[in-house]
Amino acid sequence: MSSLPTGQTASGGDLIYRQRRPVRIWHWINALSIVIMLMSGLMIFNAYPQLYWGQYGANQQTPWLAIWQVNTSGFLRLGPVTLPTTGVLGFANGQAHAFPGLVTIPTSYNLAAARQWHFFFAWLLVVPGILFWLWAFATLHIQRDLAPTLDELRPRNLWQDIKNHARLRFHTDEAARRYNILQKLSYVGVIFGLIPVMVLTGLTMSPGMDAAWPWLLSVFGGRQSARSIPSSAQRCWSAS
Amino acid sequence: MTLITRRNLVGSLGVTAGGLLLSGCDRIAAAPKVQQVLSLGEGLTIRAQRLVSDRTALAREFSASDMSPFFRTNGNTMPGSDEYATHVTNGFADWRLKVDGLVRRPQAFSLAQIKAMSARTQITRHDCVEGWSAIGKWTGLPLKLALDAAGVLPSARYVVFHCADDSDGTPYYESIDLVDAYHPQTILAWGMNDQLLSVGHGAPLRLRVERQLGYKQAKYVMRVQAVDSLQGIAAGKGGYWEDVSNYQWYAGI
């Protein structure tokens, strides 16, 4: 975890890298690819801004989420609740799109272009991701640095850590050379939860992959369910 | 090394990024070099999908209870030509499906002949590139049988489907490679949901290529042509939407 040999305590003035180089590299590749996947993904969503659950879903079914506009007003419906969203979703800056140009790639509607960006950067997300997994297991980064210990998972410890974070009281001593429990849970959640789920739901929307790996449809309960999930996963991501 | 602290870097990046982002992004996106690089993704995707798929891996087939209660029409819903209108009026009695190009024996099948040949029925999910899905029941002639009757030459690499409909004078057409052409679920459907294919859904024949998206499933198929290259047809990208709007030719994803 640092440039000092294990066991040797640092003294004042030592430069400690709290993340190793492969971690940094992977993180910054992701910073680029995830942002582009998100923005191009929003444009793809804009082509049909309604989400269903199950094996099929089109105009005759009731979506659980829909964004639309009436004249120059925008609306979002989540289940039974309809919210006015003019200026943000549905209708913003004189444009009638679910998500505004500010957050999409490209900025104005072009499904074909958005797909091009999305399916190019998908490779930049998946290949380094797989390489990182391999590296992280092979070098015991997962086992030694990321795996939470039973002690850390105790409710009292968790709560203490949450309180410390809220008060912006971070470790400054030797303990700072290790990930704290909130970090561990976040990183493990992203590496083994959110990213794989987003990739797999993406693959489930592919008719080609549904034929190659039929279990994808079983896991997510249908292509339209799979289409619903990435947007939810993204919101969890942003929150974390 | 620590002259630029993380705080400085992120701060200054954030300030400049905001303003430049929008206009910069669009200009980058439009650059031909960028377009070239992005299109590499399609090649990677088709190779990767073919690597992990069995040639004959089937798209999921559903049961009758899974079908969409209503299957919407999409795209063109009736070709505008007088010729087509006449065909509809006399139940396609004089209509012939041409199978030609790089084949030994060019064919012209009537609808009655096609229906009398071996048929496959499949209940499958249709995925529009825009995002919606609908499950319908298709009955039709496996494309393989039509191609075998014509005797495809070894030099052929693609099968092109010429359609009766057009948008502002530009005819609809589509194409697939031989892996998909000979796939068991690739059929020329003449029946849908236990009835004859309706005009809105592409009468008399629509192509089904079940491992690809909806825009590949050409409606109003008039002619099947085996070719060695897509270059010589229309704008050369292998399909109407590919030519007109730069959609990917391989629509497996």
**Domains and their CATH numbers in chain B:** 6-38 (no CATH), 59-245 (3.90.420.10)
Say which residue, B230 or B22, is predicted with more confidence: B230
| Contact: B59, A117; criterion CB under 8 Å | no
ipTM value greater than 0.95: no
| Contact: A210, B40; criterion CB under 8 Å | no
Q: Is the pLDDT of residue B19 over 60?
A: no
Q: What is the pLDDT of residues B193-207, one digit of tens each?
A: 999 999 999 999 999
* Nearest by Cα to B156 from B227, B94, B208, B101: B227
Cα–Cα distances in angstroms (integers) from residue B231 to residues A12, A21, A139, in the given order? 68, 47, 50
Rounded CA separation B164/B71 (Å): 22
Say which residue, B9 or B247, is predicted with more confidence: B247
The amino acid at residue B149 is A
Q: Report domain extents, chain A.
A: 21-48+105-239, 50-98
Rounded CA separation A160/A16 (Å): 25
| Contact: A206, B252; criterion CB under 8 Å | yes
Q: What is the pLDDT of residues B136-173, one digit of tens each?
A: 999 999 999 999 999 999 999 999 999 999 998 999 99
- Residues of A with CB below 8 A from B54's CB? 212
Q: What is the pLDDT of residues A79-126, one digit of tens each?
A: 999 999 999 999 998 889 999 999 999 999 999 999 999 999 999 999
CATH code of the region A21-48+105-239: 1.20.950.20
Q: Which of A102, A120, A214 sits opposite B38 (nearest CB)?
A: A120
Q: What is the pLDDT of residues A124-178, one digit of tens each?
A: 999 999 999 999 999 999 999 999 999 999 999 999 999 998 999 887 777 777 8
| Contact: A106, B29; criterion CB under 8 Å | yes
| Contact: B66, A55; criterion CB under 8 Å | yes
Question: Which phi-psi region, left, alpha or beta, contains residue B236 (left: φ > 0; alpha: ψ -120 to 50)?
Answer: left
pTM (two decimals): 0.89
Sign of the dihedral defined by the CA atoms of residues B69, A115, A228, A97, in that order? negative
Q: Which of A57, A117, A214 sits opposite B38 (nearest CB)?
A: A117
Cα–Cα distances in angstroms (integers) from residue A72 to residues A30, A81, A87, A217, B219, in the given order? 37, 20, 9, 38, 36
- Residues of B with CB below 8 A from A209's CB? 49, 52, 252-253
Q: Touching check for A55 and chain B: CB below 8 Å?
A: yes
Question: Distance, in angstroms, between B253 CA and closest chain A CA?
Answer: 4
Joined tokens for residue A22: 């492969």
Rounded CA separation B161/A219 (Å): 35
Rounded CA separation A239/A233 (Å): 10
Q: Touching check for A124 and chain B: CB below 8 Å?
A: no
Rounded CA separation B234/B240 (Å): 8
Instruction: Return the residue of B nearest to A106 by Cα.
Output: B26
Q: What is the pLDDT of residues A213-222, one digit of tens each?
A: 999 999 999 9
| Contact: A115, B129; criterion CB under 8 Å | yes
- CB B171 within 8 Å of CB B162: yes
- Residues of B with CB below 8 A from A214's CB? 60
Please give the mean pLDDT across all residues of chain B.
92
Q: What is the pLDDT of residues A185-215, one digit of tens each?
A: 999 999 999 999 999 999 999 999 999 999 9
Q: What is the pLDDT of residues B88-103, one digit of tens each?
A: 999 999 999 999 999 9
Cα A166 versus chain centre, distance: 23
